[in-house]
């Protein structure tokens, strides 16, 4: 049975249910327009039911102990292994990812789940010293309770797992609201994985709905104490403002405008490979993607020739074809917007070194250069297969250009002098920066997140422990103490 038939439901308190809303979310294949599923949306009543179920289930789950939680997560890893081919097929069909992208996403999701299994046994506290004689300080790490997760469409299975797995491992319950373009791979597929792994009912709930139906109820509800959101900075500002009004903690992973910088002493061939991957992975629909590729003028001709040749050779088409490197963008609205963006840039004076066609949702890659200084295109996120080549004169100018954006998520610099690269990276206002690598990187052990309009908070590894637990100070006075009063 297809996931798109089996999992096209709400998942609340361990039950697969039909939503009670008055309309359906239609899940389409972005490549061929095939209708994959119709899912009747959930209402504010079901939001309340999901959160109340999570609230009831959370305390027994936390009390069950770390080893019990670890066992469930270990079984979830086994379940994913058994469903690997079906999950890959679902990612290809639902979000237009290529086979390579699907395998990359599943592999990373498994790594994050493995790390969550280790986090389940995280030390529950510490014993800080006290200046008071006879006082014992105990600082406990406790689950926050219920976590709300709002996911994106681009890497839906992976990004949901990055919050769901550590939150569960640390004793919390979770309610997920997936993106409407990825309701299965970003939502109910995780419910199936953990249900098959024996997760007790109520600990993971999935609501497929829309703000037009529920407004801010998913964030405003009194039960969740942490909101983990991945998406645009425009929506993230709203999520952050509403959550702050209710004193909720947020982890906001938002938009980016990353730069890949090629210094004059770089290995040009390697830099070209990194730039192609950084810009065109999943059609450029990646928050860490290298919107801007900065090249020192001393090597600009060589780099440009090799880069444009590599981009022109990328095959655009059916994501199921193993030769395809560029699949469809997520919908027709986005395809049209990208085409208009390229047209506008050329009209404003940019030169199209590679000019891709748009055929339905297939947007062939474009490479633009010669953008006027101050062009809005240089400071915004381009969520698609459009690369901007920007020449610079020397390292100081490169740093200035990299930082000239409201975003600060990721980036990379290429140089044969590693320590020079590290010094460059430390001058950039971003949460992550990589020397001689890609701008698109994620690692379960390393804090992930951005600066400026690219977000608040961090995920992964120890940062996930900080995100999904709270500290409680309990002190014990041994013997009589003297009170200064």
231-285 per-position pLDDT tens digit? 999 999 999 999 999 999 999 999 999 999 999 999 999 999 999 999 999 999 9
pLDDT beyond 90 at 204: yes
pLDDT range class, residue 186, cuts 50, 70, 90: very high
Q: Which two tokens stand for residue 478?
A: 């041994």
Backbone φ and ψ for 77, nearest 5 degrees, come out as -65, -40
Res 256: pLDDT: 97
Res 25: pLDDT: 97
Residues acting as catalytic residues:
253, 287
Structural domains for the chain: 3-254+454-473 (3.40.605.10), 258-435 (3.40.309.10)
71-129 per-position pLDDT tens digit? 999 999 999 999 999 999 999 999 999 999 999 999 999 999 999 999 999 888 899 99
290-329 per-position pLDDT tens digit? 999 999 999 999 999 999 999 999 999 999 999 999 999 9
Res 462: pLDDT: 94
pLDDT range class, residue 153, cuts 50, 70, 90: very high
pLDDT beyond 90 at 185: yes
pLDDT range class, residue 1, cuts 50, 70, 90: low
């Amino acid at each position: 049975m297809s996931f798109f038939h089996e999992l096209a439901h709400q998942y609340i308190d361990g039950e697969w249910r039909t939503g009670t809303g008055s309309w359906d979310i239609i899940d389409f294949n972005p490549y061929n327009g095939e209708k994959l599923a119709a899912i009747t949306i959930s209402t504010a009543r079901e939001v309340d039911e999901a959160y109340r179920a999570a609230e009831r289930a959370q305390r027994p789950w936390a009390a069950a102990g770390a080893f019990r939680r670890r066992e469930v997560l270990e079984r979830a890893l086994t379940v994913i292994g058994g469903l690997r081919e079906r999950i890959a097929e679902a990612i290809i069909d639902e979000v237009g990812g290529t086979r390579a992208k699907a395998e990359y996403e599943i592999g990373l999701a498994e790594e994050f789940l493995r790390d969550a299994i280790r986090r389940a046994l995280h030390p529950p506290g510490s014993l800080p010293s006290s200046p008071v004689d006879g006082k014992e300080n105990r600082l406990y790490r406790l689950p926050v309770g219920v976590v709300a997760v709002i996911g994106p469409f681009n890497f839906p299975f992976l990004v949901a797992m990055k919050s769901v797995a550590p939150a569960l491992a640390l004793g919390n319950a979770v309610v997920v609201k997936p993106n409407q373009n990825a309701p299965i791979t970003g939502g109910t597929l995780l419910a199936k994985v953990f249900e098959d792994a024996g997760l007790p009912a109520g600990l993971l709930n999935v609501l497929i709905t829309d703000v037009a139906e529920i407004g801010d109820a998913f964030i405003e509800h009194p039960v969740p104490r942490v909101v983990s959101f991945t998406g645009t900075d425009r929506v993230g500002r709203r999520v952050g403002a509403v959550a702050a009004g209710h004193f909720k903690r947020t982890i906001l992973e938002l938009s980016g405008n990353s730069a890949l910088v090629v210094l004059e002493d770089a290995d040009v061939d390697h830099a070209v490979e990194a730039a192609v991957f950084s810009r065109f992975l999943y059609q450029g629909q990646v928050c860490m993607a290298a919107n801007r590729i900065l090249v020192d003028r001393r090597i600009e001709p060589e780099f440009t020739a090799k880069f444009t040749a590599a981009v022109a050779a990328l095959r655009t088409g059916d994501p199921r074809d193993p030769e395809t490197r560029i699949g469809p963008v997520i919908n027709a609205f986005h395809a049209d917007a990208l085409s208009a963006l390229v047209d506008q840039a050329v009209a404003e004076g940019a030169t199209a070194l590679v000019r891709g066609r748009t055929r339905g949702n297939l947007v062939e890659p474009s490479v633009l250069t010669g953008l006027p200084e101050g062009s809005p295109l240089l400071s915004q996120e381009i969520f698609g297969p459009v690369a901007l080549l920007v020449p610079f004169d020397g390292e100081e100018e490169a740093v200035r250009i990299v930082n000239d954006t409201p975003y600060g998520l990721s980036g990379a610099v290429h140089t044969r002098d590693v320590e020079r690269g590290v010094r460059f990276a430390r001058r950039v206002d971003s949460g992550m920066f990589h020397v001689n690598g890609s701008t698109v990187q994620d690692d379960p052990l390393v804090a992930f997140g951005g600066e400026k309009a690219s977000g608040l908070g961090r995920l992964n590894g120890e940062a996930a422990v900080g995100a999904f637990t709270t500290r409680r100070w309990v002190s014990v006075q041994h013997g009589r103490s003297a009170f200064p009063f």
